[in-house]
């Protein structure tokens, strides 16, 4: 599968017209629309903002090894 990136405008009728480069073969394609919805008032967030928010939560931080150990102990208690 080949990805190409084009910029297009969606008209007031919500239709989208694209002219593809000639190297794209005829046939079925998958179309993914990435729309910037922030202008419409919808909240947007980046992955960095997400992790920054997690860092603000109170409580101890655990390492991967500590979490694995806790899960192993929890699973062992089920039997």
On whether residue 5 sits in a domain, the answer given is no
Q: What is the pLDDT of residue 52?
A: 83
d(CA 24, CA 7): 16
Could you tell me if residue 7 is inside a domain? no
Q: What is the pLDDT of residue 37?
A: 66
How far apart CA 48 and CA 54 sit, in angstroms, is 10
Q: Using one digit for the tens of pLDDT, what is the confidence trace for 1-33?
A: 788 888 888 888 988 888 888 988 899 988 888
68: three-class secondary structure by DSSP: helix
pLDDT of residue 43: 56
Number of structural domains, the chain? 1
Please check whether residue 71 lies inside any domain of the structure.
yes
The residue that leads in pLDDT, 78 or 52, is 78
Could you report the per-residue pLDDT of 34-75, keeping only the tens digit for each? 877 665 555 556 788 888 888 888 878 888 999 999 999 999
Q: Are 46 and 56 in contact (CB under 8 A)?
A: no
Does 8 fall in a domain?
no
pTM: 0.40
Domain around 45: 40-77
């Amino acid at each position: 599968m080949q990805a190409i990136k084009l910029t297009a405008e969606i008209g007031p009728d919500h239709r989208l017209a694209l002219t593809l480069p000639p190297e794209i073969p005829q046939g079925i394609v998958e179309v993914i629309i990435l729309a910037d919805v922030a202008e419409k008032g919808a909240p947007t967030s980046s992955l960095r903002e997400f992790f920054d928010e997690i860092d603000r939560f109170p409580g101890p931080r655990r390492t991967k090894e500590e979490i694995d150990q806790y899960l192993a102990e929890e699973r062992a208690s089920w039997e």
